């Protein structure tokens, strides 16, 4: 699956904040906010597709496919990195929010949401 986001605007957008991340995630239908290991997680159909605040408020996580993860890391290497171990190998992707933008995060979160919403439990 190719992510249909390539920046075409010549100006620098402001960086993403934890509050903006939460707002974008919660804008998707049927998304629930819960807690997971002491930090917020976001679920659709009971599946976690994003988390916030681990290890601190500057980080989030989106659950991508390995192919999607590779594309985001390639296109935005300062913002995205694989989570440690098997989680990262399976697409769990850490986001350093100050180095991302709302436009990029909307695409990443939408991909993670779609992955969870369309997968079988």
Q: What is the pLDDT along the chain (121 residues), one digit of tens a residue?
A: 555 544 444 345 788 999 999 999 999 999 999 998 889 999 999 999 999 998 899 999 999 999 999 999 999 999 999 999 999 999 999 999 999 999 999 999 999 999 999 987 5
Candidates 25, 26, 51, 43; CA nearest to 107 is 25
| Cross-strand pairs, 101 | 15
Sorted by where each starts, the structural domains of the chain and their CATH numbers stand as: 18-110 (3.90.1150.30)
Token pair belonging to 103: 């436009």
The structure's pTM equals 0.87
CA 105 to chain centre: 6
CA 55 to chain centre: 15
């Amino acid at each position: 699956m190719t992510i249909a986001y390539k920046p075409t605007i010549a100006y620098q957008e402001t960086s993403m904040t934890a509050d903006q991340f939460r707002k974008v995630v919660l804008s998707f239908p049927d998304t629930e906010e819960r807690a997971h290991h002491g930090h917020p997680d976001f679920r659709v159909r009971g599946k976690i597709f994003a988390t916030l605040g681990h290890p601190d408020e500057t980080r989030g996580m989106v659950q991508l496919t390995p192919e999607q993860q590779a594309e985001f890391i390639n296109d935005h290497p300062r913002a995205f990195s694989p989570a440690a171990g098997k989680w990262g190998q399976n697409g769990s992707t850490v986001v350093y929010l100050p180095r991302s933008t709302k436009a990029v995060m909307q695409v990443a979160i939408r991909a993670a949401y779609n992955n969870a919403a369309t997968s079988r439990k």
